[in-house]
């Protein structure tokens, strides 16, 4: 087997992710990066050279790897490298390629993720500074309201078209990770913000959220659809304007959406469904909310004398 053969298997695997498993382009690029990192480190000439000792050495390498700032990889990131390698080996096994059995590689126990979220008061401050009746202000307010109202991923938000959203019923469907379709809901304030924005729009671009045509620009030349990076800049701008010192990003509004629901009594299964999580384990990262509620109950009722 030559180096070129290994590269062909990698490309076949990435096509498998795209076509058969319907993974997103970002996910596929991440998998490519992790597999290439393993191949570059190991310098193997044949997939038969992959054995348990090689994997142990790779784990040690990942654990000691530092970036340009001298920071090491988080345990979860290290585990993700190994998960991708296992997935690749499983793919090879199904094609009868002689290599290490994926089942022989154990994935380390991941540390519990901590979630950064905004309090309701912080979200309210951000929304209040996004004021104005010009098209840009109306658009930005609608973006912020909808992110917090629906718990959308930023990629889902930018992919949404005008004809998808039903403001009368205050709901619409989105295609999330793995191509799974779910229903998301629009609050009263988000509905009002989106309606005001769309009423002001004069272009015919299909995107729900669009760039503002520049002066002298040919009317509707090319797509005006906002990118995830554009949404990120918008969210950061208003968070800074509101005096929020946290590193605010669009996904934080998704976290805040889930946190707000749980804090107000929503059950975790319903939140899982609204977020589009395939596993309840993923949704359980938000248990910091219920833990805080338990603490408050303990403080309120523990060692209190009856009147």
Q: Which residues of 197-207 are buried (b: 16+ CB within 10 A; e: fewer)?
A: beeebeeebeb
C-alpha 154/C-alpha 138 separation (Å) is 18
Catalytic status, residue 233: no
Parallel, antiparallel, or unpaired for β 181-185 and 171-175? antiparallel
Structure tokens at 11: 């490309």
Catalytic-residue membership of 249:
no
CA distances to 35, 83, 106, 165 from 100, rounded to whole Å, are 15, 14, 13, 48
Residue 277 annotated in active site: yes
Alpha-carbon distance of 277 to 283, in angstroms, equals: 7
Question: Rounded to an integer, what distance in angstroms lies between the CA atom of residue 85 and that of residue 91?
Answer: 10
Identified catalytic residue from 34, 58, 80, 286: 286
Q: Is 251 annotated as catalytic?
A: yes
Does residue 229 have an active-site annotation?
no
3-class secondary-structure state, position 163: helix
86 a catalytic residue: no
Question: Which is catalytic among the residues 16, 32, 125, 251?
Answer: 251
Q: Which of 141, 153, 191, 255 is catalytic?
A: 153
Question: What is the C-alpha to C-alpha distance for residues 232 and 252, in angstroms, rounded to an integer?
Answer: 11
Active-site pick, 23, 141, 254, 255:
254
Q: Which residue out of 162, 177, 249, 288 is catalytically annotated? A: 177
Active-site positions read 153, 177, 251, 254, 277, 286
């Amino acid at each position: 087997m030559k180096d070129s053969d290994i590269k062909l298997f990698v490309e076949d695997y990435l096509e498998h992710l795209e076509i058969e498993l319907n993974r997103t382009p970002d996910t596929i690029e991440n998998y490519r990066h992790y597999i290439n990192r393993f191949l570059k480190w190991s310098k193997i000439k044949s997939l038969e050279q992959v054995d348990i000792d090689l994997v142990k050495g790779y784990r040690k390498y990942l654990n000691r790897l530092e970036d340009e700032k001298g920071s090491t990889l988080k345990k979860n990131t290290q585990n993700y490298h190994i998960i991708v390698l296992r997935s690749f080996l499983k793919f090879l096994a199904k094609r009868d390629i002689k290599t290490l059995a994926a089942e022989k590689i154990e994935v380390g126990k991941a540390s519990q993720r901590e979630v950064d979220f905004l309090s309701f008061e912080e979200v309210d401050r951000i929304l209040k500074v996004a004021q104005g009746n010009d098209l840009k202000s109306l658009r930005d307010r609608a973006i912020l309201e909808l992110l917090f109202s629906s718990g959308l991923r930023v990629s889902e938000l930018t992919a949404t078209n005008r004809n998808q959203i039903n403001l009368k019923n205050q709901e619409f469907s989105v295609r999330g990770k793995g191509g799974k379709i779910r229903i998301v809901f629009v609050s009263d304030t988000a509905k009002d913000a989106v309606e005001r924005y769309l009423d002001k729009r004069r272009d015919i671009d299909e995107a729900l959220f669009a760039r503002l045509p520049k002066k002298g620009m040919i009317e509707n030349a090319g797509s005006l659809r906002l990118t995830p990076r554009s949404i990120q800049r918008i969210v950061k701008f208003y968070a800074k304007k509101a005096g929020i010192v946290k590193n605010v990003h669009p996904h934080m509004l998704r976290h805040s959406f889930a946190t707000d629901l749980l804090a107000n009594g929503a059950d975790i299964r319903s939140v899982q469904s609204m977020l589009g999580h395939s596993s309840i384990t993923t949704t359980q990262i938000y248990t910091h909310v219920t833990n805080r509620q338990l603490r408050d109950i303990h403080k309120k009722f523990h060692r209190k004398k009856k009147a």
